[in-house]
Structure 1
Amino acid sequence: MSLDRPVTPDPYNLLPAVPAFSVTSTDVSDGQPLDQAQVHAGGDTSPQLSWSGAPEGTKSYVVTCFDPDAPIVSGFWHWVVCDIPADVTSLDTGAGAGDAKLANGAFHVRNDGGGLNFMGAAPPQGDQVHRYYFVVHAVSEEKLGVDGSASPAVVGFNLAFKTLGRAILTGTYQH
């Protein structure tokens, strides 16, 4: 049974335009269903991500995973990693397990499930296909200006003023 909701717009089309750069993954194919490893019931394993072509002046990165199709007005944040050093251009599969798997200085912000880690796809049974936006944000500062107690909304607010470029890879999932 579907919740009969309209498809939400691409949330990144609603933000001011910034230059795009490239993100690829050995675990996620753009526009294709997520592997069971990236599903909540299948292991909560964050995908491998590699990026290149970030704009000049990039001093750090923030990586996020957002589901705009969650049946709530705010969508659902599955993963937020802040202050990834500018010389780091990839995250290994499973880097979202906790801060120990991240480069020096990088840290997780609580996902909307309450954990300081990657939380896999978990749409309601029978709901429409959900989109999972894995986004690498190129940041103009070495530190975003938040700590691990910040909410994803506060991270997003800070990114609105400090994002130089954005790389997007979108997976899908339906339960």
Structure 2
Amino acid sequence: MFTIPTLARSLLVAVALACASAIAPPAHAIGAEEPPPNMPAEKTDLSPVRALIKQGDYKGAIARLNKMAEADSKNADIYNLLGYSHRKSGNLQAAFANYKTALDLNPKHLGAHEYIGEAYLMNKQPEQAEKHLATLAALCGKGCEEYQDLDKAIKAYRSKNRAAR
């Protein structure tokens, strides 16, 4: 059974905690570099760069993405698109570096796994591409677009190399 002083003390503690939580900043805002996983990060608008890529202006896309990476160095999407633009420009070394940065930032980045797999095919390393295909299968299943696109690219690569023998 509660006595009046115990009940009053409990109420005072509850009110004090409620007031403190109402005026204190959330714990994730104090010294945190990234929001917690359940809170969406601010997104960099990549639509202008995607438009350049769609037009085949990889040089322009690379220039804009490099500036974006300076301002938002923890955005895996930026590095994935940098890798894609470099790959499409024929610079596999830069493509691999950027895809690896994207995957370091986000090991579950589906697009980066697909695109680095395609870069490995261009570099005549189908076994490396298949490792990323297996990763995609584990991350999103065989029905996701990234898995299906890389699987199709690997099959085309294998078919082309069988025919060349």
Question: What is the TM-score when the length of structure 2 is the normalising length?
Answer: 0.23
Q: Which of structures 1 and 2 has the bigger CA Rg?
A: 2
Q: Which has the higher contact order (CA 8 A, sep 6+)?
A: 1
Question: Which structure's residues are more often helix, by fraction?
Answer: 2
TM-score (norm 1): 0.22
